[in-house]
Amino acid sequence: MNVAKPNSYRSGPDDRGHFGIFGGRFVAETLMPLILDLEKAYTEAKADPAFQAEMNGYLTHYVGRPSPLYFAERLTEHLGGAKIYLKREELNHTGSHKVNNVLGQIMLARRMGKKRIIAETGAGQHGVATATLCARFGLECVVYMGAVDVERQQPNVIRMEMLGATVVPVQSGTRTLKDAMNEALRDWVTNVHNTFYCIGTVAGPHPYPTLVRDFQSIIGNETKAQMQEVEGRLPDSLVACIGGGSNAMGLFHPFLDDPSVEIFGVEAAGHGLTQLHAASIAGGRPGVLHGNRTYLLMDADGQIQDAHSISAGLDYPGIGPEHSWLHEIGRVNYLSATDDEALAAFQLLSRLEGIIPALEPAHAIAKVMELAPKRPKDHLMVVNLSGRGDKDVPQVGDILRGKSK
Amino acid sequence: MTTRIDTRFAALKKEGRAAFVTYVMAGDPDLTTSLNIVKALPKAGADVIELGIPFTDPMADGPSIQAAGLRALKAGMTLKKTLDLVRDFRKDDNITPLVLMGYYNPIYIYGVDKFLADAKTAGVDGLIIVDLPPEEDDELCIPALKAGLNFIRLATPTTDDKRLPAVLANTSGFVYYVSIAGITGAAAADANVVGDAVARIKRHTKLPICVGFGIRTPEAARAIAEKADGSVVGTALVDALKNSLDAEGRATGKTVNAVAELTAALAQGVKGAQQAAE
């Protein structure tokens, strides 16, 4: 890539929400005034110590942060190379990293006087986190979820309903995360006067990719401090799975200007990159969808193609715009793992460490299984264990017993 | 530059009546039927034609237009074929203004400069691109104006007086006022509320103002035509088309007529409107 290297990889986006050519604000006029209001509210909140203090209080006492940085001794021994640390985001309240971002957005919504919260969800982790914080703060919550995902992630549907949220199964298009996002945008356009759209990943129109990144950066900031405390230095590599890419961006961003740190994002290769998959960078090209320009899976006419992943949370034909930029500029290496590789990693981590990962971070573990053995024993590798696998137990159980594919 | 849109609105102003603007999806339910429908629209009373560009993910459209786009895509419609359709339509009609309406990605992938050149050659007069607000004018709006195409902007109930000048700055042809905060095919807006909004926008522009979203009947089209420079009907026509299809979603002998007959009835409604004095 013949792109000039910037002085810092952490200064983006520009004031129009662009990371290089990526990002932007490609939305209907109805939404533009609210998006500008949101940008203003976020800028003010960021500069308000009371906002930060209140958020830190909830992060400590409600979410349970900091999450541990755990040395995975048996996985390290098994792979025989790099020393592997797991950033235990699955131990957060609600069981994934999603809560970090939702807390921030719900506090912004309260600041803006919005009483109704909508969200899209794939695996249901973002939906559960949103339903949880809406319950906590007494807000109405509507979650859009593809009908296919409602089927394969039943435990999370039940959780959202127990928390008082309305789950709307989306029947349009491919009935997965992309369509849930379309339907959430349609709701937002219709109810813009009282509704806050709590986007679950580092995508969508500016300022969402930035504010979600900022709320998730606590993952990388904690990791940096914890690694310093345990090993007295920076890690040598970072690995995280990517659907839209919020857990990855949260881990990566604080390290982007540390050139000694190798960074790997892992997309979902589904049945394989020559077949149905969800790897936007490996198999896509730049296009415009859901408010931003980014790498997308599409045909020659610019029609969006169906993604496929065993993991509902990665089953999306796009990726956050800042990831597209980090790919083009060469700071982050984007790899991919197939459904089968993720399933093998899911089982390996469960049996070696007694930790059942969600299918999403199982993709990251799958690439650790390739990367770690090739690295020396003093190489420090951090994997973001972004969610726990309870929600996937019925689906994986069926697959392993040969009931379904 | 004067486009067919400018000429048509100037003529209607002389006649003292509002425009009837029809929306149909290009390639719905197939290319040939779609061309015949578009050809039938001016004869049935359409003053301006909006032709939808099919897209897999139309985030501002309701179920009817979503389904229309998917029918067209299933039948093999593309942006290139949409331009072919316009070229064929222009063989017999060099007067009726034709506006392409859709989302940015197919145009971005086609290539902006190539698209604008091909659209102009095919006989397109203007563009309405739902997901390009003024903040993204560099993408397509400015190049389109340079290429001699009108770039028609959507104004909505959330576009306040402070924002209107920015929305109207690089626009031409007409202004499309979206009468409700919502998606296509949603509930109708109250004509008096619409009248106030049109008056508000008129304080900022001399361009004609057409109103759409939620207009389904001749009566509603007429009520809006009394308050604005044009009534836009889309979902009702798309529904009439859909109701004429066979069980497999294919065109029948009734399909073209079903759209033409509703167009004629709606056009009568618009023509019966008593326009408020300017």
Tell me if A19-58+98-212 shares its fold with A65-95+217-400: yes
Q: Domain A65-95+217-400, what fold?
A: Rossmann fold (3.40.50)
Domain ranges of chain A: 19-58+98-212, 65-95+217-400
Q: Is residue B277 part of a domain?
A: no
Residue in the block written with tokens 């007959």: B261
SS3 A204: coil
Q: How does pLDDT run across B212-259, given as a tens digit for each residue?
A: 998 999 999 999 999 999 999 999 999 999 999 999 999 999 999 999
CATH number of A19-58+98-212: 3.40.50.1100
Residue B56 lies in a domain: yes
The closest alpha carbon to A123, from A79, A88, A160, belongs to: A160
| B158/A contact by beta carbon, under 8 A | yes
Do B66 and A288 count as a contact with CB atoms less than 8 A apart? no
Residues B244, B24 contacting (CB under 8 angstroms): no
Contact A26, A205 (CB under 8 A): yes
CATH number for the domain that contains residue B80: 3.20.20.70
In this structure, how many other beta carbons lie within 10 angstroms of the beta carbon of residue A73? 12
> Searching chain A, which residue's CA lies closest to the CA of residue B70?
A173
Total Cβ atoms within 10 A of residue B157: 18
Residues of chain B positioned with their CB less than 8 A from the CB of A296:
105
pTM of the model: 0.96
Residue in A28, A291, A303 closest to B56 by CB: A303
- Name the strand (E) or helix (H) holding A239: strand A237-241
Total domain count, chain B: 1
Q: Is B88 on the interface with A (CB under 8 A)?
A: no
Range of the domain at B242: 4-271
Active-site residue flag, A262: no
Contacts of B22 (CB under 8 A, 6+ apart): B41, B46, B48, B49, B50, B232, B233, B234, B237, B263, B266
**B121 token code pair:** 């050659």
Band the pLDDT of B277: cuts 50, 70, 90: very low
Q: pLDDT tens digits, residue range A202-232?
A: 999 999 999 999 999 999 999 999 999 999 9
Distances in Å between the alpha carbon of A65 and those of A52, A53, A366?
Answer: 15, 14, 26
B190: annotated active-site residue: no
Instruction: Look at residue B226 and tell me if it is in a domain.
Output: yes
ipTM over 0.90: yes
> How many whole angstroms separate alpha carbon B238 and alpha carbon B236?
5
Instruction: Give me the phi and psi of A87, to 5 degrees please.
Output: -85, 115
- Give A121-153 as a DSSP string: ESSSHHHHHHHHHHHHHT-EEEEEEEHHHHHHT
Nearest to A25 among B63, B136, B157 (CB): B136
Q: Do B133 and A29 touch (CB under 8 A)?
A: yes
B58 inside domain: yes
The chain A residue lying nearest B139, using CA atoms, is A26
> Is omega for the bond preceding A66 within 30 degrees of 0, making it cis?
yes
pLDDT at B278: 46
**Burial of A397 by CB count in 10 Å (0-12 exposed, 13-18 middle, 19+ buried)?**
exposed
Closest CA to A39 of A13, A10, A75, A62: A13
Looking at residue B2, its pLDDT comes to 84
Q: Which of A192-196, A386-390, B178-182, B203-207 has the lowest mean pLDDT?
A: B178-182
Q: Low-confidence residues of chain A, pLDDT below 50?
A: 1, 405
Q: By the 8 A CB rule, do A356 and A59 touch?
A: no
A52 Cβ partners below 8 Å, 6+ apart?
A46
B212 is a domain residue:
yes
Residue-by-residue DSSP string for A265-309:
EEEEEET-TTSS-B-HHHH-EEEEETEEEEEE-B-TTSPBPPP--
In a domain, B276, yes or no: no
> What value does the mean pLDDT of chain B take?
95
pLDDT tens for each residue of B53-66: 999 999 999 999 99
